[in-house]
Structure 1
Amino acid sequence: MSQPRVFRAGEWNRIAPEDAGWSYVGFEVRTFDDGESLTISADDHERAFVPLSGTVTAVIDGKETVFGGRKTVFDGLGHTLYVPRDTEVTLTATPGAELAIASAPATERHEVRLVTPDDLGVESRGGGNATRQVATPMPPGFPADRLLVVEVWTPGGNWSSFPPHKHEVDRDGEAALEETYYYRLRDPENGWAIQRAYSPEREFDLVEVVRDGDICTLPWAYHTTVAAHGHDLYYLNVLAGPAAVRTLQAFQDPCLAELQDAWSDAPTDERVPFVPRYPA
């Protein structure tokens, strides 16, 4: 059985389902050289394209879509281009552009759709030192088959994905979802955060220091993240699973769930939101 695992920057190019030991989520980050193009043939997978930096041009059925434009993930909210199954796409980009590509097998074919920062809310979530900024370009209501995409920014010293929660069983209040956490730090050379994933019933406990470019695969387990003091953290979540209904329902660790009730009395961290809708 697969278990939560951290893949280190420089040691992975693409997380295929067989790498993670699961069935749905695929993820890679492509950096474009000057003049480079990438063609993805039509197949039975839907995809989400999220520029982490630079500008990307996609050609689908002869139609050109230009999207992205931020210098780093801390300079503005992201663009997301959704491309359904049975659709070929050719991609080019500005030199050095970084493009996250998420995929999952799909049964139904939906429409190509571009999500821009204008479509996203600048949302603060949590309270006190569990305050973070969240944008959800592909929420449960998005017209896709399985893919769900979330961007999260956490100021240094704060907790994120808190209270710890899991999504491994399809039941009332919880959904079975595979999930990746792809991390970037504002200070890529020195920045770090800590990822914890634990499962009391499996006697499993993973506590890992994560750095810029690392990725964590979470097939199950309660999980939470904390950014080191002074080191702002970004992570891109991609989720997909077998449920017929698109949902982000998660089950919180019952030992810690009540801590969320205290947020109503805790001031929101004044640093959040700290990423603007568009780059200055």
Structure 2
Amino acid sequence: MSQWYYPKGSLRQGPWEAVVDESLPGWQYTGMRIADSADSDHFTIPADGKERVIYMLSGKATSVTYTVDGESSTVTLDGRVSVFHGAVDYLYLPINTEISFSTDGRVMVVEAVASVSKPVSLRKAADVPLLLRGAGRSSRQIHDYGGVDHLDADRMVAVEVVAPAGNWSGVPPHKHDTYIPGVESNLEEVYYFELAPDRSHAPEGEVDPIAYFRTYSSDEREMDEMMEIRSGDIVLVPYGYHGPAAPMPGYDLYFTNVMAGPDPDRSWRVTDDPRHVWIRDMWESEEVDPRLPYRAED
């Protein structure tokens, strides 16, 4: 039986805090690796048939050496205080690239099975498109480092999302599990979550940041999950409607997601649950949450 929810620590492989790849039942196209300097001072990834984006979740800097077509280069990725402190540097590397890096913090590697070798791309934090989607309690912030319009990749689609405390991301619930040209894409999706107390407060003592994430069937394929989410948890969405991702009041929510699939084209098109699509009409009379955008200096 396939498993879709993985609490922090349950996907550890060697020095990697988590590895999502095709070794997991029911998974084929996307993946994720998380590295922490507390576990090792050096990480390596052999050349293979996957394209990747590397960036820091937190920490000061990461030094990445990569080899493409026999030529080696080294770049330094600047970090950030936390995932709630704005965008960060992102390095895209194509298939058949040997990678090694050293870091003083936590590093995310998102990946997708690919076949076409695209150019290496380094995008600095200041150049990352920052998008605000939704309105009212559906407001959220997007760091679009890996979307179809902002990254020249072969298969991967990836973004970071921040939802302020009490807001609902992924509303209305939507799906991308059936290829309909020009209408809907067929994409697997991996979510990695972090939570923290609302930055306008400084609670004393122990806290327990919590969010909730929902997935359910869109057709005959069985899916019915309501998950309690904490920092470091990972969720796989192979098909079905998904959303909302909603933090409790008092806690901010971050997630990164990476998508890829078998479609003949690289696109991100979704179909809303028709029972909830009317919610989009509410945004016309609502303002974007004034707590957004979250920036590095906040």
Give TM-score scaled by structure 1 length. 0.92
Of 190, 203, 211, 1:193 maps to 211
Cα distance between partner residues in 2 of 1:183 and 1:218? 14
Q: Is the 8 A contact 1:20 1:217 kept in 2?
A: no
Cross-structure match for 1:42: 47
For the residues of structure 1 that align with 2:177 and 2:7, how far apart are their CA atoms?
Answer: 24
Letter in 2 for 1:176: N
Superposed displacement of residue 8, structure 1: 0.3
Q: Which residue of 1 aligns with 2:136?
A: 128
- Give 1:34 shift: 8.7
Task: Give the match's secondary structure for 1:185.
Answer: strand
> Residue in 2 aligned with 1:147?
156
Q: CA deviation at 1:39?
A: 2.3
Quote how far apart the aligned CAs of 1:115 are: 1.8
Q: Could you say which residue in structure 2 is the equivalent of 1:207?
A: 226
The aligned runs of 1:28-107 (5 Å cut-off) are 28-33=33-38, 36-54=41-59, 55-60=61-66, 61-94=71-104, 97-107=105-115
CA distance in 2, matches of 1:37, 1:208: 33
Compared CA separation, residues 115 and 20, structure 1 to 2 (3 A): farther
Aligned to 2:219, the other structure's residue is in SS state helix
Three-state SS of the structure 2 residue aligned to 1:118 is helix
Contact 1:70/1:279, CA 8 A, preserved across alignment: no
Once the two structures are overlaid, the 10-residue window that deviates more, 147-156 or 76-85, is 76-85
Name the SS for the 2:169 alignment partner.
Answer: strand
Matched, 1:253 2:295: no
Match of residue 19 from structure 1: 24
Q: CA deviation at 1:156?
A: 0.8
Q: 2:239 aligns with which of 220, 224, 235?
A: 220
Q: Is the 8 A contact 2:218 2:241 kept in 1?
A: no
Query: Corresponding residue for 1:110?
Result: 118
1:236 aligns with 2:256: yes
* Counterpart secondary structure, 1:136: strand
Show structure 2 runs of 5+ residues with no match: 13-18, 198-205
Deviates more, 1:46-55 or 1:154-163: 46-55
User: For the structure 1 residues 262 and 107, does the alpha-carbon distance in structure 2 shift closer, same or farther, using more than 3 Å as the test?
Assistant: same
Matched, 1:159 2:168: yes
Tell me which moved more, 121-130 or 224-233.
Answer: 121-130
Structure 2 length normalisation: TM-score?
Answer: 0.87
**Could you say what the CA RMSD is over the residues aligned between the two structures, in angstroms?**
1.9
In the alignment, structure 1 segments of 5+ residues that lack a partner are none
1:170 aligned counterpart, secondary structure:
strand
Range with bigger deviation, 232-241 or 80-89: 80-89
Q: Which residue of 2 aligns with 1:6?
A: 5
The one-letter code matched in structure 1 to 2:265 is: V
Instruction: Give the conservation status (yes or no) of the 8 Å contact 1:153–1:235.
Output: yes
**In the TM superposition, what whole-angstrom CA distance separates every residue of 1:185-244 from its partner, at most 9, and x where no partner exists?**
124951110000011534632111100000110001111111110100000011111112
Residues in 2 aligned to 1:122 and 1:20: alpha-carbon distance in whole angstroms: 35
Structure with bigger RCO (C-alpha 8 Å, 6+ apart): 1
For the residues of structure 2 that align with 1:205 and 1:168, how far apart are their CA atoms? 15
The CA deviation string for residues 73-97 of structure 1, in whole angstroms up to 9 with x for no partner, is: 1122122211101111221112xx1
**Distance in 2 separating the partners of 1:150 and 1:264:** 25
Percent of pairs identical after alignment? Answer: 33
Contact 1:79/1:116 (8 A) holds in 2 = yes
Match of 1:173 in 2: 183
Mapped contact 1:53–1:68 kept (Cα < 8 A): no
Instruction: Provide the C-alpha distance between the structure 2 equivalents of 1:257 and 1:20, rounded to a whole number of angstroms.
Output: 32
